[in-house]
């Protein structure tokens, strides 16, 4: 059975703010997240997603991001098979930072990708 294609979006086409209205799910590993992430993003490492799916709000638009787009695509496919309607962020955090979007650390200082 072929999976339906997961929608993909360029960074320019996704919201700037996340939390109340939309979810940006960052599936990178802990060390990557600690170096820097998008403000308001929700962090669940790729390997933890199956066990922690209940933490992802199914009512909000869902964007999935990783470093370059590969892991987020796999997670998006998994979430799609489980009833979510994810959008993979094309180019990942590399594209996010490249577009001049903010990257912060948990402490709120500027981060790196």
Q: What are 36-78's pLDDT values in tens digits?
A: 999 999 999 999 999 999 999 999 999 999 999 999 999 999 9
CATH domain 8-98 topology: Oxidized Rhodanese; domain 1 (3.40.250)
What whole-number distance in Å separates Cα of residue 113 and Cα of residue 97? 7
What whole-number distance in Å separates Cα of residue 38 and Cα of residue 23? 11
pTM exceeds 0.75 for this model: yes
Structure tokens at 16: 């700037």
**Tally of CA atoms within 13 A in the half-sphere of 2 that contains its CB:** 3
Q: Which of 66, 79, 87, 93 is catalytic?
A: 66
User: Catalytic: 66?
Assistant: yes
């Amino acid at each position: 059975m072929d999976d339906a294609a997961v929608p993909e979006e360029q960074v320019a086409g996704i919201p700037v703010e996340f939390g109340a209205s939309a979810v940006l799910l960052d599936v990178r590993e802990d060390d990557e997240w600690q170096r820097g992430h998008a403000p308001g993003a929700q962090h669940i490492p790729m390997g933890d997603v199956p066990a922690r799916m209940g933490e992802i709000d199914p009512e909000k638009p869902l964007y999935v991001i990783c470093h370059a787009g590969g892991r987020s695509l796999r997670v998006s496919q998994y979430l799609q098979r489980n009833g979510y309607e994810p959008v993979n962020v094309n180019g990942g955090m590399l594209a996010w930072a490249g577009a001049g979007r903010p990257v912060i650390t948990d402490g709120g200082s500027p981060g790196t990708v």
